[in-house]
Amino acid sequence: MKLVVAIIRPDMLTSVLESLFHTEVRGLTISRVQGHGGETERVETYRGTTVKMDLSEKVRLEIGVSDHFVTPTVEAILSSARTGSVGDGKVFVLPVEKVYRIRTGEVDQDAVTPVEAAATA
Amino acid sequence: MIAADTAWMLASTALVLLMTPALGFFYGGLVREKNSLNTIMMSVAALGFVGIAWALIGYSFAFAPGSGFLGGMSFALLRGVGLDAQGTIPHLLFMSYQATFAIITAALISGAIVERMRFGPYLAFITLWSLFVYAPVAHWVWGGGWLAKLGALDFAGGTVVHINAGAAALVAATVLGPRKDYGRQAILPHSVPFTVLGAGLLWFGWFGFNAGSALGANPSAALAFTNTLFAPAATLMVWTMMDLLRTGKVTAVGGATAIVVGLVAVTPAAGFVGPLGGLALGALAAFPSYYALLFRARTRLDDSLDVVAAHGVGGTVGALLTGVLAQKVWNTATDGALFGNPKQLGIQAAAVLATIVYSAALTWGLMKAIGAVAALRATAPDEGLGLDVSQHGEEAYARGEGAILILDEPPGPPTPAAAPVLRAEGGRG
């Protein structure tokens, strides 16, 4: 199992979710984060006080997937989150030691397999 | 000159001026957080740009003696607009009062083009629009133009303000095209309380708009005041019932919209219909606008904040019903169709149609002309980032995290010795 972590632009979130949905990725967690990835700083002015906004709003997705799902998931994110300008974000794939599903106590592979898929398999 | 009239008109002018920032809040609450300042600024900027255009030329186009279609240039730069009487109030006060109408009418259009129009071209558009669309139509109805001679009834600006802005909104939204996210993702209001606050302040200001249009502290103002109180109340009640019957839930955005629709509808009628007529008008006005809103959301027309449904449709219904419900007992001028004067309804329809055609045609021309010299739309990345940051360099709800203070550069070029040191320390990779 792997944990796919993606940092994306907030305004691309809808298109990423759409794309993940079509790839049949069913479980994910998102959080709103702030970060900096080399994009041009925005300069804002409030009454004579000029500030450089070093951090931009980003959305972080965390998706636990079984091994054969890693490539489709990453490809779905890459294709849907890309605008071509600096600041599109990153995708990280991390190894996962253990996964538990809280409701049933299932472990690992079973725990990251959606319920419907498990029933038909 | 009458002191009481002057006092009431001074207060009315301030009331109507408040409506423009109120509109900013009404609209600002309905857009996404990242565009909220831009939307509010679209209204606020009208206070400056349209206000000044009105004082310099607009007032003259509308109210100086001229032809049936356009006033002359004799009041340009406020020449001859002094403290002498215009009716029973100082001429200067009359001009100021009318300025507040020009300002809010131009600001109303912004609701159709939010979240995507560049700010510079927007400023050019509303300034030119107030001179070449608002001022002539105001002249037709209030400046002794051809609609006034025809006998069209428009107490406080149903045709001049609301139908005019509604038609312009329809065309402006069409020329500009829909937002990139329109119809693709849910675009939700970011602050419904702002919208309700805006609607409340609009209602408050509208007493100056309608009762002030009596141009004095007189019985006609009292009638207009009463109608401004009860017609929107009736619209609000009917709207609430329709919400309840259709979905089982009464929405706050719906309530705020209902108040505005009721106010729009009663505007042309305020001083012409009796209190029960006003009540009936308010109640009836809820239906067309309610269904126009539902219908518009299913189309490709991104009239983002439904200026057409609220002001265009609401204003048209109000203008036509004025021709039906007007009563000589109340206005000492003329009866409507219901009281034996069916001709009035035809005159009202002619005024509505003429305003729509003129406003739509000129708005199309102005948008195309401005579009020929400057891009009307923000770029797609700017639209994604939000217009607050891309157009104004500000955020409505700045969190301040990661903000680095830029201290003013000392004047003069940096000393040659300083530059290598900075480079040696290195910046971001």
Q: Which residues of A touch B398 (CB under 8 A)?
A: 44, 46
Distance between CA atoms of A41 and B282, rounded to whole angstroms? 51
pLDDT (tens, 9 = 90+) of chain B, 429 residues, equals 999 999 999 999 999 999 999 999 999 999 999 999 999 999 999 999 999 999 999 999 999 999 999 999 999 999 999 999 999 999 999 999 999 999 999 999 999 999 999 999 999 999 999 999 999 999 999 999 999 999 999 999 999 999 999 999 999 999 999 999 998 888 999 999 999 999 999 999 999 999 999 999 999 999 999 999 999 999 999 999 999 999 999 999 999 999 999 999 999 999 999 999 999 999 999 999 999 999 999 999 999 999 999 999 999 999 999 999 999 999 878 899 899 999 999 999 999 999 999 999 999 999 999 999 999 999 998 999 899 999 999 999 987 777 888 876 655 555 444 444 444 444 443
CA distance linking residue B71 with residue B352, whole number of Å: 20
Closest residue, chain A, to B407 (C-alpha): A50
| A71 touching B (Cβ < 8 Å) | no
ipTM: 0.74
Helix, strand, or coil (residue B83): coil
For residue B171, the distance in angstroms to the closest alpha carbon of chain A comes to 28
B interface with A, Cβ–Cβ below 8 Å: 181, 184-185, 381, 384-385, 389, 393-395, 398-399, 401-406, 428-429
- pTM (2 decimals)? 0.89
Pairing state between β A89-95 and B85-86: unpaired
Does residue B268 lie in a domain region? yes
Question: Has residue B393 been placed in a domain?
Answer: no
B386 to chain A: closest CA residue: A11
Q: Is B385 within 8 Å of A38 when comparing Cβ atoms? A: no
For B2, the 3-state DSSP assignment is coil
Written as six digits, the tokens of B356 are 């729509």
Which residues in chain B are contacts of A54 at CB distance < 8 A? 402-404
Of the partner residues B184, B403, B428, the one whose CB lies closest to the CB of residue A51: B403
**Length of chain A in residues, anyone?**
121
Whichever domain contains B120, its CATH number is 1.10.3430.10
Say whether A44 and B402 touch across the interface (CB within 8 A): no
Alpha helices by DSSP H, listed for B34-129, are 36-53, 59-63, 91-109, 119-129
Report chain A's mean pLDDT, rounded to a whole number: 88
Domain count, chain B: 1
Contacts of A94 (CB under 8 A, 6+ apart): A2, A3, A4, A5
Residues of the domain holding B374: 3-380
Q: Do B402 and A11 touch (CB under 8 A)?
A: no
A44 interfacial to chain B (CB closer than 8 Å): yes
- Specify if B47 maps to a domain: yes
- Edge-to-edge order in the sheet of strand A89-95: A29-35, A56-65, A2-8, A89-95
Taking CB atoms and an 8 Å limit, are B403 and A46 in contact across chains? Answer: no
Is B401 a member of any domain? no
Nearest Cβ partner of B406 from A9, A50, A83? A50
CB contact under 8 A, B398 and A50: no
Apex CA B58: angle with CA B55 and CA B59, to 5°? 70
* Residue B424 maps to a domain: no
Q: Please indicate, yes or no, if residue B258 is contained in any of the structural domains.
A: yes
Residue B76 has φ and ψ, to the nearest 5°, of -60, 145
Angle at alpha carbon of residue B378, lines to B384 and B199, rounded to 5°:
80
Q: Does residue B42 lie in a domain region?
A: yes
In chain B, which residue's Cα lies nearest the Cα of A50?
Answer: B406
Say whether residue A32 is in contact with chain B using an 8 A CB cutoff. Answer: no
Q: How far is A54 from chain B (nearest CA, A)?
A: 5
The answer to whether the Cβ–Cβ distance between A55 and B389 falls below 8 Å is no
CB pairs under 8 A between A and B: 48
CATH architecture of the domain covering A2-37+56-95:
2-Layer Sandwich (3.30)
Contact A36 B402 (CB under 8 A): yes
B89 in Cβ contact with B6 (< 8 Å): yes
Residue B275 lies in a domain: yes
